[in-house]
Structure 1
Amino acid sequence: MGYSLQAKEIKDKLNLLIEQASDIDPNLTRKLREINRWIKYIKLGSLMSKPIVVAFLLEVITDSQVWLAIRSLPSEEEQKLQFEKMTANEKYWYGYLFPKWINATDTKFHIWKKKMMSGEFNQADSDIIKYIAQDVVDRKGDFWRRYIADLSMATDLIVSSHQNKPLCIQVTSVSEEFHGQKYQKWENALQLWKIERGLFLSYNPQENDFVHQLVNVALYNSDHLADGKYINFS
């Protein structure tokens, strides 16, 4: 019963956001309607049996609420002040990447929606990414993680350090055979979304302390990597 209630709340919130967005941001309305069509006929119990779908929906709801709250402010000055209260990563997400996703045609959207719903989608490096994120925080850095960033923008984590300069990172343990191919796809995706700089981190799980090493590279490049640069670290 509790699960069904949560699923119903998700559907209700989505419908409410569609209504609210129609007066504020028609492009967001279109995106939310597309998501709503995707889950509309799924039974509540079935929806709750798909934790990744639910997690994605909750992220989209949260992000849409934040975005609409900002867009509803009466002046650009007040909107700007709201962004100034955010962390560097939040500001990058809500001020740049999320609105880009709202306004763009996401060519991968229909593909990963199917994979997510069918249970094919799994984040192979999910545990490693969690360890990296935790180490970033332990070392006074900050991270941001979103399914949209992962699935559409080839970004597992957005990391920032002392300089508060968010850096998009993809983490992979891909074999050497496919490394070049995956790197090229990653770089193409970042350029498509006009992400100015990025870090492609390959790791060998057999190496000692590889998480700490990856975080060293991530934090350093967050502060120092120039715009227009896409670095391949392995």
Structure 2
Amino acid sequence: MQAREIEPKLKQLSRLAWSTEPALAQRLEEVRRWIKDIRPGLLTNKGVLVGFLLELIKDGEFWLKLQSLTNEEREIFLQHLPSPVIYWYENLFPKWFNENDHKFYIWKQKLRSGEFSQEDAELIESIAHQIKSRNGCVVHRYIADLSMATDVIVSSSTGKPLCVQLTTMSGELSEDKYKEWKDTLKQWEIRRGIFVSYNPSQERSVAKLVNLVLHNSNHLKEAKYIKFCFR
């Protein structure tokens, strides 16, 4: 989809959503109004912003298709999806557009101004590659990252969805961020999560992270928010 098609698509999707889910329609319209005055050429140069907008359109379309299914059709369809994907569409995504997102105003301005950078994008891509090679699943969403303190939603081939936050911070800074992270997960009623402080200079960091994530996908209990440190 080209940049000039994004604003009309958001408008179309918002109108389509009104009869099924007014809260989603309102959120889509809010985003459309927010970006409608950005010229397509300028929007094209804002890669992260475009990524978020395309992701939102994709999720909105997918969620509306789910709502169009009968209960039986929906149950059969969901059986073929990995658990993190189901968790996103059945839980976190609708929770986001139905509830007040206190961080949305802040991070959408950062996206528009180009302040937001994906410093850990390479690490996340490497982790996702290894998890998928072991038949696991990884879901990354800007909304989860920026509003829900969740870099990725992960599961092993047999495990449950696990929300994971990664940071290179250590010491007192890491502890402060951990407390904020835990509060955010509780606010969104996320029941399982791990917070990992890692040293990017360690060659074995990715392998350790993958093992840790897959283990906790299988074994972490409900209402648990655990901090790990690889230094």
Match of 1:126 in 2: 121
Match of 1:10 in 2: 6
Number of corresponding residues: 229
TM-score (norm 2): 0.96
Match of 2:42 in 1: 46
The equivalent position to 1:181 in structure 2, one of 160, 176, 180, is: 176
Q: Following TM superposition, by how much is the alpha carbon of 1:139 offset from its aligned partner in structure 2, in angstroms?
A: 2.0
Q: Following TM superposition, by how much is the alpha carbon of 1:140 offset from its aligned partner in structure 2, in angstroms?
A: 2.0
Match of 1:94 in 2: 89
Match of 1:114 in 2: 109
| SS at structure 1 position matched to 2:115 | coil
The equivalent position to 1:219 in structure 2, one of 206, 214, 219, is: 214
| SS at structure 2 position matched to 1:23 | coil
Q: How many Å separate the matches in 2 of 1:205 and 1:199? A: 18
Structure 1's unaligned 5+ residue stretches are: none
Is 1:64 aligned to residue 60 of structure 2? yes
RMSD of aligned residue pairs (Cα, Å): 1.2
Q: How many Å separate the matches in 2 of 1:52 and 1:208? A: 28
Q: How many Å separate the matches in 2 of 1:6 and 1:49? A: 12
Q: Following TM superposition, by how much is the alpha carbon of 1:8 offset from its aligned partner in structure 2, in angstroms?
A: 1.7
Match of 2:187 in 1: 192
Runs of 4 or more above 3 Å deviation: none
Q: Following TM superposition, by how much is the alpha carbon of 1:79 offset from its aligned partner in structure 2, in angstroms?
A: 2.5
Match of 2:29 in 1: 33
Q: How many Å separate the matches in 1 of 2:228 and 2:178? A: 10
Query: Which residue identity is paired with 1:12?
Result: P
Q: How many Å separate the matches in 1 of 2:126 and 2:157? A: 20
CA contact (8 A) 2:145 2:151 kept: yes
Q: Deviations over 1:46-65 (max 9, x none)?
A: 11110101000000000000
Q: Deviations over 1:188-217 (max 9, x none)?
A: 110000000101011112323111001110
| SS at structure 1 position matched to 2:158 | coil
Q: How many Å separate the matches in 2 of 1:208 and 1:54? A: 32
Match of 1:78 in 2: 73
The equivalent position to 2:167 in structure 1, one of 172, 191, 216, is: 172
Q: Deviations over 1:156-182 (max 9, x none)?
A: 011100323110000110132301100
Q: Following TM superposition, by how much is the alpha carbon of 1:102 offset from its aligned partner in structure 2, in angstroms?
A: 1.5
CA contact (8 A) 2:170 2:197 kept: no
Is 1:153 aligned to residue 171 of structure 2? no
CA contact (8 A) 1:21 1:29 kept: yes
| % same residue | 48
Q: How many Å separate the matches in 2 of 1:204 and 1:25? A: 43
Q: How many Å separate the matches in 2 of 1:86 and 1:175? A: 36
Q: How many Å separate the matches in 2 of 1:169 and 1:125? A: 13
Q: Deviations over 1:53-101 (max 9, x none)?
A: 100000000000000011122x323223332221111111111111111
| SS at structure 2 position matched to 1:24 | coil
Q: How many Å separate the matches in 2 of 1:154 and 1:142? A: 19
TM-score (norm 1): 0.94
Q: How many Å separate the matches in 1 of 2:82 and 2:191? A: 19
